Amino acid sequence: MAAFELLIFDWDGTLADSAGLIVSTTQAAIRDLGLPPRENHQIAELIGLGLEDGMRRLYPEFDPQWVMRQLMLHRRESGLKIHSTPLFDGAADALAELRGLGFRLAVATGKPRAGLEGAFDDHGHVRPLFETSRCADETADKPHPLMLEEILRETGVPPERALMIGDTEYDVAMARAIGMPALGVACGVHEPGRLYKAGARAVVDGVHALPAWLAGG
């Protein structure tokens, strides 16, 4: 346990069980806007990236900023709230346990700031547990490591004393780019083999298993 001081968590797919809602609401927007259809797995593959980068990959034939504006407008007009998703079972208890053990906690997410603040509002009991956070619309998108570098500068923690916890290869890749260890969780959108290939030190079932993993068993 003494190996790490700071634990940095992705949000969607790691702490929040939001993949299904993100896919279904994106599919609804695609249909309503008359965009070319995409398969569910093509959308799920992009969860964790910043919205503009995700749209560039999903619709390379269109201007990604135009697609992004259309989707955001649809979301506002429809009143959809992507942040209104439950946390995975045991995640909140694990966060509280880890904070009680003296770990410092942070969030590094592909969500926009408004989305993360909405999620914090929905799960007010976990908001005070986090020391700081970075969102895709206020720094570089994953897998660029800038959001992690900013968190490290703010907290004064060296990369080898921090651990990134996430469900996608994007989370693992941005940590590995700056020499930070990464732990994968199998509850999200990328399978364990893919997380290991990206460089994850290990993969656990979910955040609920993190305290035991940190304790070495």
From 78, 102, 123, give the residue that closes a domain: 78
118 and 175 part of one domain: yes
The amino acid sitting at 162 is A
Q: Is residue 1 part of a domain?
A: no
Among 10, 53, 141, 171, the one annotated catalytic: 10
pTM reported for the whole predicted model: 0.87
129-149 confidence digits (pLDDT tens): 999 999 988 999 899 999 999
Extract the tokens encoding 59.
């619709």
pLDDT score of 83? 55
> pLDDT-derived band of residue 216, with 50, 70 and 90 as boundaries?
confident
CA nearest 69: which of 57, 50, 81, 51?
Answer: 51
Q: Residue 152: CA atoms inside 13 Å, Cβ hemisphere, count?
A: 18
82-126 confidence digits (pLDDT tens): 556 899 999 999 999 999 999 999 999 988 898 899 999 999 999
Q: Residue 186: CA atoms inside 13 Å, Cβ hemisphere, count?
A: 8
The answer to whether the beta carbons of residues 81 and 118 sit under 8 Å apart is yes
Among 12, 17, 141, 167, the one annotated catalytic: 12
Q: What is the Cα–Cα distance from 92 to 207, expressed in whole angstroms?
A: 9
Catalytic annotation on 12?
yes
Domain with 191 in it: 6-17+86-214
Helix axes 169-176, 146-155, angle to 10 degrees: 60
CATH code assigned at 190: 3.40.50.1000
188-202 confidence digits (pLDDT tens): 999 999 999 999 999
67 and 160 part of one domain: no
The answer to whether the beta carbons of residues 182 and 171 sit under 8 Å apart is yes
Split into its structural domains, the chain has a count of 2
What is the DSSP code (8-state) at residue 12?
B
33-67 confidence digits (pLDDT tens): 899 999 999 998 888 787 788 888 999 999 988 88
* 3-class SS of residue 36: coil
> How would you classify the pairing of strands 130-135 and 104-109?
parallel
Q: Is residue 137 part of a domain?
A: yes
148-174 confidence digits (pLDDT tens): 999 999 999 999 999 999 999 999 999
The amino acid sitting at 22 is I
Catalytic annotation on 32?
no
* Cα distances (angstroms) measured from residue 192 to each of 169, 187, 189: 10, 9, 10
pLDDT score of 196? 98
